[in-house]
Amino acid sequence: MKSSVTSSDPGDLEELRTLLINSAEKLAGPGAFILKPGLPGDGSPILMHNAEHQPVVISFDPGNGETALINGLRAVERLTATRPEPQPARLVVVSQTLLPASTTILANCSRLQLYVVRRQEINDTTRLWLDRVQTDTPDESAAEQPLPEDRPTLAKSSIDADSLPALSEEEASYFRQL
Amino acid sequence: MSTHLNPMQPQQTDSASPTGTARIGLTDKPQTRSTYRADGKLIPFLLDSAEQSWITHDLCKLLTRRNHSSILCHVDELASTTEAQIFEHLARQGASGYEYRLLPVTSPQLIKRLRLSHVVLLVPANLDAICLAYQRIKLLAEETTPEIGIVMVGPRDQHAAWRYFRKLAVGTLRYLDIPLLNLGFLPNQITPQCGPADHHRDNFLTRISERLLRSEFHTGNLEVYRKSG
């Protein structure tokens, strides 16, 4: 069987977003799930929750790591202002290019992770390679933590009911009780 | 096994093409086939809220694990753009060789605009959410009625899931003449905190994915049509 492997650029922002969303557990740990695929603001970083229900912001820019970092920091700041969490969000920055002075930045920011992204086409299937930029200091976030006992219920609907068609009297009466 | 509450044939929708290939129409006729062509089956999900996105995320992973390579396509951010841009985005992702593309959307208006032939609604098991789901189905049915599948989220048990589904399905059948497909449920013990390795969570999601595949609940190969000129 003949197989073909080719490397390519990570593509445009939206394609990279989709690939990163599908790599949620690689970036935010097992049990991570997407809370918002795009936060408001430049670059629309992705908001995830890890298994411990702690926020993780994924900021990315295929060609410019500095832009991704700045966009991510802004998103974390906005998030902290609007949704006070017990702990500030963890920030993951993904780019094709390595940030200048990345080891110094990492050494000074314990809640920051940097990844260099590469895309490969293997037999017509797109695969995303994420290489984590490491420092010499141990990564506290990688330590396993027990799952919380309490299981929060899903949040109430955020749908704007005003934009939906009104119910007739008969329909409203039907849905009044189970 | 998936069940239609209504034994009648599902309604014919405008989006079904004679060849069995689903078609997404943008506007009124005349339309011409655009240069966008994407193989791969599209499964749109209408989420009750963004917090439910873990469900589509896990379903996507599960399908891939079961040798149905799948990818999540997010278009909520593109809601303010034109339909053509959304379709272009979808078509581009479909070209990457995935068998299924799962499309989680929180806006019923966006689903309506895209005139998709199939939609899965994730409906929390409470009366308010059932009523809201009914209103959303009513909105979707204002132009062309898609085939609608329901996944109940958070009922106490199978019996409760059935009661909520039946309430919704009888209502849509009685007032809107729309049959619903029961695609299963995720009981309240299943939460994102269960972790992906949780067998309980895996089993329920597997049942939903099997019903989706067995009932071929997808749009078929995506062809995008654009208004001429």
- Tell how strand B3-4 and strand B180-186 pair up: antiparallel
Range A30-38 average pLDDT: 80
Cβ distance of A171 and B109 shorter than 8 Å: no
Range A52-76 average pLDDT: 87
pLDDT of residue A14: 77
Q: Which residues of A fall within a CB distance of 8 Å from B142?
A: 165
Selecting from B92, B108, B195 the residue whose C-beta is nearest the C-beta of A51 gives B195
pLDDT band, very low/low/confident/very high, at B46 (cuts 50, 70, 90) = very high
pLDDT band, very low/low/confident/very high, at A57 (cuts 50, 70, 90) = very high
pLDDT of residue A18: 80
- Domain CATH for B72: 3.40.50.300
Cβ distance of A125 and B69 shorter than 8 Å: yes
Per domain, the residue ranges of chain A are 5-147
pLDDT band, very low/low/confident/very high, at B29 (cuts 50, 70, 90) = very low
Range A151-161 average pLDDT: 36
In a domain, B53, yes or no: yes
pLDDT of residue B143: 81
Which CATH number applies to A5-147: 3.30.450.30, 3.40.1350.10, 3.40.190.10, 3.90.1150.10? 3.40.1350.10
In a domain, B35, yes or no: yes
Selecting from A18, A152, A159 the residue whose C-beta is nearest the C-beta of B93 gives A18
The values of phi and psi at residue B71, to 5°, are: -140, 145
Predicted ipTM of the assembly:
0.74
In a domain, B4, yes or no: no
Pair A17, A38: CB distance under 8 Å: yes
Task: Please list the residues that pair with A128 across neighbouring strands.
Answer: A119
pLDDT of residue B95: 54
Question: Does B44 have pLDDT greater than 50?
Answer: yes
Expressed as residue numbers, the domain containing B69 is 14-227
Q: Which residues of A fall within a CB distance of 8 Å from B97?
A: 124-126
- Residue A66 tokens read as 């500095």
How many Å separate Cα B73 from the centre of its chain? 12
Give the separation between CA B4 and CA B110, rounded to whole angstroms.
26
More confident residue, B11 or B84: B84
Which range, of A107-121, B17-31, B35-49, B185-199, averages the lowest pLDDT? B17-31
In a domain, B176, yes or no: yes
- Residue A56 tokens read as 């993780």
Q: Averaging pLDDT over each range in A46-55, A95-104, B156-165, B219-228, which range is the top one?
A: B156-165
Closest CA to B106 of B126, B138, B132: B132
Give the separation between CA B226 and CA B36, rounded to whole angstroms.
9
In a domain, B83, yes or no: yes
In a domain, B174, yes or no: yes
Domain count of chain B?
A: 1
Pair B209, B59: CB distance under 8 Å: yes
Sign of the CA dihedral with B203 first, then B206, B207, and B208 last = positive
SS3 annotation, A13-53: HHHHHHHHHCCHHHHHCCCCEEEECCCCCCCCCEEEECCCC
Question: Does B32 have pLDDT greater than 80?
Answer: no
Selecting from B72, B127, B130 the residue whose C-beta is nearest the C-beta of A21 gives B72
pLDDT of residue A3: 53
